[in-house]
Structure 1
Amino acid sequence: MNGQRTTKFDLSGYFYSKDSYSCALKGREDFPSPLVCVKGQSCNRVTYTDRSICAVKGSSVNISCTFNSHDKDIQSKFWFSPERSGRWQNLSQPEDLSEDSQFAGRVQVLDPETGRSTLRITDLRETDSAQYHFTFKTPGFEWRSSLPGTTLTVTDPDLQVVVKRSLSWSYVKCRSSCFLPEHVSYIWYLNGKMIPKETSDHSGIFHITDSYSCALKGREDFPSPPVCVEGQSCNRVTYTDRSICAVKGSSVNISCTYNSHDKDIRSKFWFSPERSGRWQNPSQPEDLSEDSQFAGRVQVLDPETGRSTLRITDLRETDSAQYHFTFKTPGFEWGSSLPGTTLTVTDPDVQVQVIWSSTGPKLVCHSSCPRPGGLSFVWYKSEKRLEEETSSSYGGNIDSAESYSCAVQGHERHRSLPVYAPKLLSLSVSPSAEIVEGSSVTLTCSSDANPAAKYTWYEKNHTLLRRRKLCV
């Protein structure tokens, strides 16, 4: 009712003209019914244009809703995200997204007409993936936040080449499962080589040996998998991973599958375009296993026909690069324009994230370098290693008198900074000289804490405001 959750299966009785109702299946709360007024059509309600939106990193998105207030005296209205509640002063009191530092300079609220609001987020990041809600307040009413809003998923371009055939010609189109920016330009690859086409589609007569792939201009690192336009025996190379992050000193497997229309493959090998300065001819890739930088650290595994794996051991930061696979037959060579797998080698940069909920704080060890299959972690409680804790989430009881830190197992020397509750609380007064009655002073509350503490000022048990400094 009015965006507030209730557990009743059905409702009967006296209904007010101001109230709206919606329902959802338990376990499928993300798909509630549209809101309805029981009496009249002037009830309080918020209706989202989209239940879910998928958008590409770096692009912009519009999240819209329509709303109606039974009391036309709306005092405030704003957008918020429940996933950001850990930063609110009060977990039960949503805060305006436009005042959140994560969205600084990237959020705009458009009100094109009465009863409609649009949240525009630009320069989208993966961390923007969340639910977004709209709320409004009148002197006697506040729209509640239990009713699901719009779920935004921000991801890399997920492209596919769609093929349509007729008796005399074929048609290929580059399609994304996510919303794409307006006026985007495309890049097309024929047998791994870039061709001069910038539109989302093209048509013509295609050869049975040829495969096609596409990418967004500016996001070339995320092309679609190559597809055959005619038949299924075309030349193609498909990488298992577009990007891999690995820790210095560890090992990594970079894999692909491939097919040659002509089964007489004369040579096949892995190479890195970043090493082209050492090749005899910059346009002729050379086998990585013959590069002195990788001497004794590279192994190529061919577990089955049509599959190859490049294994690099004792990883160094200088190994960060793109890695490609190619093959040659008497009349064909797979091109090197199509991006391969990007490897990033780094220290295990970890930090403890404090996530607040109604049940208290939760500690999560976050690594900037995730690994396929997951990582094992080490937890420390006031410098003491906790042998029983190996998951990314700390499972023990949290003692506010203790500090907590974490590390990736096997890389304990790269431990995170500790997190701990506020201590050494102090109050300072400015100016510090004698204060004249009727003049102004600034009170500053300080403490040692990680993450930084939030402050609330009180006067005779009454809340004044929530900030570090108080001017009186």
Structure 2
Amino acid sequence: MSPSAGGLVVFLLSVQVIQSQDGLGVNYHETDVCAAKGSTVFIICDITHPPGIDPSDIKDRFWFTKEKDGEPVDLRTDSEYLDRVMYGCFVTRCYLSITDVRESDSAEYKITFMTNKPGEKYTGSPGVTLCVTGLQVQVRRLNSTWLELTCHSSCVLSDRAEYDWYKNGEIIETGSSLRVSSGSTDRYSCYLRGSSGQRSPAVYGPQRPSVSVSPSAEMLEGDSVTLTCSADANPAANYTWYKGDGTSDPRLLSEEPQLVFSSIQSSDFGWYFCTAENQLGRKTSEFILIRVKYGPQRPSVSVSPSAEMLEGDSVTLTCSADANPAANYTWYKEHEDSPRASGQIFTITDFTAEHSGNYYCEAQNEMGRSNSTLLLITESGVDRTTMIIHITRWPLLVVMLILQLLFCLWTRKKKAVSSTTEPHESREAVEMDLHPECEDLSDMAAQREDPEEQEDRV
């Protein structure tokens, strides 16, 4: 590349500074150079030889940025500049060319001369300060709809610098700034027009975040678990963690890329997701289900029917316990070593007195086991057949005896009225005098009463 091709970078300043050392004059065309990363830079100077020194007396001349043991180090021997530097001199004008400049090339550059006389050398100092800058796109929000993109560099490239704007790799506009809509998924970058530098890194909103879980194996209660949210975005995204399944408002958990459970618990079971957001947009990850393995909690037991049992009834006991993985159930009767049944439901189809007692269930999985509290199952002590007899037979017999007794009283009263007796007093006496047959019926009714009713009367 010729010096004229790099003019945009090199000839930014027209100030000429002449330095002299021992009669040697070095005129650097610029004292400060700002170059775009990846471009080619030319540093040029004019030489004025001191009296008595002919240009033919100059044995060597080279450029350097650092010294070793007090002696300048030729850039051509520096591995950091290998195959990237080139020197040249035309009578009294010399130049340094550096291709594909890097930010690490930012330094002060000087030229030194050595003559035929041993130990005689001349250095133009101070030298030229080179600043290599990468282009960056700055994002500024104008309102809820629009953003303004500006091409930025750490040093001033040129007052007349113009930029080409790229959208997804294609030039779309030229100018110092670009307006785009908020939430766009496109990639935007800028380039210093007319230079050989590199385009700026593209800016874009977050892609859909991905979630990783560490450790990725099964989680046991008490383990340390870390969820990490990551998304491709520039500028870098900010992350937020939530817990929720999408059916209600999620619960905010953290505003960091990682969500850390130092000792995960069964209560942490559920759906989680994260969001990634920068100035250009916001995206949400997929939901991830966190399953925690834990031993059974204390089981609960229910009985149906819940009233006292009668002989011959069917009784169903149900055991349930929160556990992951699901628990297996075993039924025991107190003071017995052998289980009565296995499974979540235990049914006694023909309840008898020997079934009465305390029962409990045991829930077990690979993480542990847990027992329920004791459940007392008792029989009411009344035989169903006997009870039916009490209900049906005794009421019928009593009714029959009462009817016979009333019939006797009616017959006796009728005879007393039709016979000749004394007035009221005699008649009342007769009415109260029961027929012997009726007295027998009254005794029978008393004898037929329910033994339990007699006991209650006593």
TM over 0.5: no
TM range (shorter): 0.3 to 0.5
Larger Rg: 2
TM-score with structure 1 setting the length? 0.34
Greater share of helix? 2
